[in-house]
């Protein structure tokens, strides 16, 4: 299999995409902290992966979900013209 086939499988699966992006973001965060010499526990990085993955899955869910648009009620009658007091 070529690399492009693996990439297409990851892009088609929302869960694999979310996990991949969250791992990449966590690696970037780790490298930045290492550069400025901040120390975090490994559990913090695992928590960051989970939080990023859940946020990305939520965004992809909302992007793919069709929200129902509520049409105005057809039984409501609007009278336009002179007021009838």
Tens digits of pLDDT across the chain (85 residues):
677 888 888 888 888 888 888 989 989 988 888 888 878 888 888 999 899 999 988 888 887 787 676 666 666 666 777 777 6
What is the model's pLDDT at position 76?
Answer: 66
User: pTM for this one?
Assistant: 0.62
What does the pLDDT read at residue 67?
Answer: 66
pLDDT at 73: 61
Residue corresponding to tokens 């069709």: 66
Report DSSP letters for the chain, one per residue. Answer: --HHHHHHHHHH-HHHHHHHHHHHHHHHHHHHHHHTT----HHHHHHHHHHHHHHHHHHHHHHHS-PPPPPPPTT-----SS---
Nearest to 53 by CA among 24, 79, 80: 24
Q: How far is CA 29 from the centre of its chain?
A: 19
């Amino acid at each position: 299999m070529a690399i492009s086939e693996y990439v297409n499988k990851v892009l088609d699966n929302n869960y694999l995409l979310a996990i991949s992006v969250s791992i990449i973001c966590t690696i970037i965060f780790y490298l930045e902290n290492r550069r400025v010499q901040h120390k975090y526990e490994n559990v913090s990085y695992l928590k960051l992966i989970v939080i990023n993955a859940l946020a990305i899955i939520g965004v992809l869910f909302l992007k793919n979900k069709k929200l129902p648009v509520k049409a105005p009620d057809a039984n409501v009658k609007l009278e336009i013209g002179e007021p009838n007091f």
